Amino acid sequence: MSFQINITEFLKIYLLLFIERSVTFYTIIQIKFNIFYNWLVKTNLMIYLYQLYTKYMVHDIEMIMDNKIIYSTNKNELYVYNEDYMDFFIYVDKDTYPMNKLICKKKIDYNENYGVCSFKFQMINVRLSEHESYVIDLNNKKENYYVVSNVIDKFVICYLLYKQYFILKDGYTISYNLDLIDDKMDFINLNESDIIVLDVGSYKIVHNKKK
């Protein structure tokens, strides 16, 4: 019985010592971390590292060719790519949710002070044939294409068909009818030659002669 009491007392003492040393160790680590953190703030190293990361590591530009994202890069590295081979560019604002996406035909079209549309289409239905049609969405939980000056043409339609339905079409040869219902419930029928240009509270349709 005496042996059991000694073991119990020993375990209690050991546990108390362990807790005491653990608290001491944690306190020392916390002090060291605070000193290191204050040094980082004082030297602006954290700001510099963040700026370096956003400058070279954050890829917020998508280059689209044949309906797919073939490269992702950023403004500082965009100059190395030849825009003549791209169908268009998408600048992604990763600070927004859903992420606003700016569609640009040229690299220089990018505008950081872009505006967001205040309206949405009720429906955009792409009819590839009498028995094949797809409703595409310019806004969902992840991304938003309702950005002022975004141009929705046949290349963008092909890109969204592939992105949302894995339907692969050639932007140069595709033929379709587009049934549009706008925010005022007006019904509009377009084809692959027509272009939709988004504005703040409205849109404009550019009719081109069908080839």
DSSP string, 8-31: HHHHHHHHHHHHHHHHHHHHHHHH
Q: Please count the CA atoms within 13 angstroms of the CA of 151 that sit on its side-chain side.
A: 17
Q: Do β-strands 177-181 and 132-135 pair in parallel, antiparallel, or remain unpaired?
A: unpaired
Rounded Cα distance between 63 and 79, Å, is: 12
Rounded Cα distance between 202 and 101, Å, is: 18
Domain ranges of the chain: 2-43, 58-109, 123-206
Mind listing the pLDDT tens digit for each residue in 119-176? 999 999 999 999 999 999 999 999 999 999 999 999 999 999 999 999 999 999 999 9
Mean pLDDT (whole number) for 56-62: 68
Lowest mean pLDDT among 1-15, 53-67, 96-110, 191-205: 1-15
**pLDDT score at 141:** 92
Tell me: pLDDT of 16 over 50: yes
Task: Give the pLDDT band (50/70/90) at residue 108.
Answer: low
- pTM score: 0.71
Rounded Cα distance between 94 and 143, Å, is: 10
More confident residue, 192 or 74: 192
Tell me: pLDDT of 50 over 70: no
